[in-house]
Amino acid sequence: MLDKFITPVIKPLLKPAVMLIHKRGITPDQLTVFGFLIGLLAVPLLAFEMWYGALAAIVLNRILDGLDGALARHANLSSSAGGFLDITLDFLFYAAIPLGFILANPEQNAIAGAILLAAFIGTGSSFLAFAIAAEKFKLEKPQFKYKSFYYLNGLTEGTETIALFIAFCIWPQHFALLAGTFAVACAITIFTRIHGGYHTLKQQEANEVINNND
């Protein structure tokens, strides 16, 4: 929900770092993989209840995630392969953070963490499934034209998810409550994406039939 407002603000702030990284000869894909590995460090840190160390790893992961796409555009290296790598590792990172809290306190966090992971599967699958169909119909990307594939809006997007992870680290004792609340918001996102995506694609198919018959 907030990505379309936050992204234009962040992009100019990344430019100096992007120019420096480009001069060092680092590729966007290398930055993507490095950022993912940094993000995975949060899992053992969470498991051992090192909350602020995990928070630092999460924040650094997100900074690097913003830099890899900006670097790709700056260096004219944007590609479908890079977009695939980026989104795949992003979703693996998103799933890893609740796992870290489950490992930290299975008795208190396991059920809420499992519900949140199921909700993440729903938001992720609805997001990616629509992107595949959107590519088939060549749907325009009015809000995220620089992305390598179609970004379907929802109540819970990247910005909201990172805010949740930060809240987890600041108030780990409230993980179950925060996870459950966010899972409800994810359920709303899943419903709206399925409903909106289905009807959008039905309309595209109908338009295609009409155009083929003309």
DSSP assignments along 23-80, one per residue: HTT--HHHHHHHHHHHHHTHHHHHHTT-HHHHHHHHHHHHHHHHHHHHHHHHTT---H
Check: CB of residue 1 under 8 Å from CB of residue 51: no
Where do we find the tokens 């938001």? Answer: 123
Residue 59 burial class via C-beta count within 10 angstroms: exposed 0-12, middle 13-18, buried 19 and up: middle
Buried b / exposed e over 148-166, threshold 16 CB at 10 Å, is bbbbbebbbbbbbbbebbe
Catalytic, 86? Answer no
What CA–CA distance (Å, rounded) separates 93 from 99? 10
Distance CA 29, CA 82 (A): 6
The residue annotated as part of the active site, out of 29, 68, 90, 214, is 90
Q: Annotated active-site positions, please?
A: 90
